[in-house]
């Protein structure tokens, strides 16, 4: 399973990229809005200088024509740009048209397996089921990943399953076990994943023992 960073923050991307674990980046309008005053195009282009992999840029139109227009524009920004559209019938229209232009799409805000199947049939490159937001409703979000992964596997669908709305380190491991191809994670969760008290205690003890040697 590949690890993507779910942010538009350049410092976070630079730091996580230096760890050598990043295969891509996802952004959305909320994440863009957090970077006060940042221009969409130049942010995506700067991300592309830091990470050599798919970078999702999200459209804001509600109609397929508008999404298509935005997507055609985004695709000019950098070859690694993936056009993000919502899981709606208008989104499907945009995916279908963009695929004809060989432009890759990420179908976001996916909350059921039918949306995932239809997105794949329309030609989506990535489907993004939102694990954390499903969990928030009291339903197990990981079941959604498992279902989509099974449907895709069983029907030899190549669309990649991207586990989104990751809230904690366990979500990453469970996504990998459930068959996700990618997990897109907030920077905080990547840091939490590498933290273990026994690692810290172990380092402390090794250093203390090393010093006591003299
Ligand atoms: O990028 C989409 C998704 O990962 C957003 O997550 O935490 O806003 O539900 P969240």
Mean residue pLDDT of the chain comes to 98
Backbone angles phi, psi at 181, to 5 degrees: -85, -25
Predicted confidence (pLDDT) at residue 118 exceeds the cutoff of 90: yes
Q: Is residue 4 in contact with ligand 1, taking CB distance under 6 Å?
A: no
CA distance 66 to 112: 24
Which tens digit of pLDDT belongs to each residue from 19-47? 999 999 999 999 999 999 999 999 999 99
Average pLDDT over residues 125-142: 98
**For 214, what's the count of Cα atoms within 13 Å in the CB-facing half-sphere?**
4
Mutating to test ligand 1, I would choose from 6, 24, 144, 166 the residue with most ligand atoms within 8 A of its C-beta, which is 6
Tell which residue, 191, 142, 148, 200, has the closest CA to residue 171: 142
3-class secondary-structure state, position 176: helix
Tell which residue, 184, 190, 193, 188, has the closest CA to residue 6: 184
The CA-atom distances, in angstroms, between 92 and each of 67, 69, 159 are 10, 14, 14
- Reply yes or no on whether 188 is catalytic: no
Predicted confidence (pLDDT) at residue 214 exceeds the cutoff of 80: no
Predicted confidence (pLDDT) at residue 192 exceeds the cutoff of 80: yes
Average pLDDT over residues 36-64: 97
Average pLDDT over residues 198-211: 97
Q: pTM of the full predicted structure?
A: 0.96
pLDDT for residue 89: 98
Average pLDDT over residues 181-209: 98
Give the sign of the dihedral formed by CA 70, CA 110, CA 158, CA 145. Answer: positive
Which tens digit of pLDDT belongs to each residue from 67-81? 999 999 999 999 999
pLDDT for residue 45: 98
Ligand 1 atom closest to Cα of residue 133: 9
If you take atom 3 of ligand 1, which residue's CA is the nearest one? 165
Q: Which of 34, 36, 41, 84 is catalytic?
A: 84
Predicted confidence (pLDDT) at residue 167 exceeds the cutoff of 80: yes
């Amino acid at each position: 399973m590949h690890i993507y960073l779910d942010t538009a923050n350049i410092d976070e991307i630079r730091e996580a990229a230096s760890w050598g674990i990043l295969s891509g980046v996802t952004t959305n309008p909320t994440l863009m809005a957090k970077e006060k005053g940042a221009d969409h195009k130049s942010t995506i282009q700067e991300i592309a200088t830091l990470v050599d992999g798919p970078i999702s840029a999200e459209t804001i139109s509600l109609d397929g024509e508008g999404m298509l227009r935005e997507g055609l524009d985004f695709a000019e920004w950098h070859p690694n740009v993936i056009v993000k559209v919502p899981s709606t019938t208008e989104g499907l229209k945009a995916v279908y048209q963009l695929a004809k232009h060989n432009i890759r799409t990420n179908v976001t805000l996916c909350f059921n397996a039918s949306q995932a199947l239809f997105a794949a049939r329309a030609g989506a490159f990535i489907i993004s089921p939102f694990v954390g937001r499903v969990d928030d409703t009291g339903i197990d979000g990981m079941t959604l990943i498992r279902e989509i992964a099974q449907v895709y596997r069983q029907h030899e669908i190549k669309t990649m399953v991207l586990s989104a709305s990751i809230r904690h380190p366990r979500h990453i491991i469970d996504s990998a076990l459930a068959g996700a191809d990618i997990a897109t994670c907030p920077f905080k969760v990547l840091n939490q994943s590498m933290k273990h008290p026994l690692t810290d205690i172990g380092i402390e003890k090794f250093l203390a023992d090393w010093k006591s040697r003299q």
